[in-house]
Amino acid sequence: MAGALTDIHCQRSVSAINYFDTAFTYLDRNKERESYRRYSRFLLPRYRKQVILVSKLMERDAETAKRSLEITLKELGTDFARLIPVALPRGMGLRAMKTTGRTTLIGKNGVTPEELVRYALNLPVAAAVIGMPDVAVIESCAALARALQPMSETERTGLEQKLASATRHDSLPYLAAGYRDGECSHLG
């Protein structure tokens, strides 16, 4: 993570962000689950009861998923996982995922991260998963959440038009046919 993550950063972020997402298959260059290490070191010891922590499992069979869950809980240093109900008071449990297109949408036709996050947070979703590649992004997301203003129809339409060309290119690999987000063959 670029920049040093400290307890002060966590405290400021948790005041505005309470949903933290990771995945068993999110590995760094050293094939380690860096997000697990950061969460277990900085976030969970002090803020566990204040946050919703989600870790996705990509496995397709029960036994492998069980092993991944056990490793996840151990590496995160927690002994429980919250289950998010399928139906929330809005009638749906939708999450906005990859709201910045894994940063590939930022800068397309002048699109800013703030526009993308505002757009996602103005949709009828229970949570928006934004991504936190560094401390600056964490802090900007927390500030944005604190000051969130509704996006007008004109703003939404304008952003959609700016992004229309981005989805016609190979800039969003997860839109390609056959793409699977994470493979867990290492658990064999």
Q: List Cβ neighbours of 186 (8 Å cut-off, separation of 6 or more).
A: none
Task: State the pLDDT at residue 183.
Answer: 43
Q: How far is CA 50 from CA 16, 47, 53, 184, in A?
A: 11, 5, 10, 30
**Residues for the chain: how many in total?**
188
E strand spans, 35-103:
52-56, 95-96
Please name the amino acid found at residue 133. P
* Most confident region among 64-73, 80-89, 125-134 by mean pLDDT: 64-73
Average pLDDT for the chain: 75
pLDDT value at 86 more than 70: no
Domain ranges of the chain: 1-83, 87-169
Query: What does the pLDDT average to over 95-122?
Result: 80
pLDDT value at 69 more than 70: yes
For residue range 142-180, list pLDDT tens digits in order.
788 788 888 999 999 999 888 887 666 556 666 667 765
The partner residues of 128 in beta bridges, in order of sequence, read 96
Q: How far is CA 146 from CA 25, 92, 94, 110, 121, in A?
A: 30, 24, 21, 24, 12
For residue range 129-138, list pLDDT tens digits in order.
776 666 777 7
By the 8 A CB rule, do 39 and 22 touch? yes
By the 8 A CB rule, do 136 and 5 touch? no
Q: How far is CA 185 from CA 17, 21, 25, 117, 170, in A?
A: 33, 22, 10, 33, 26
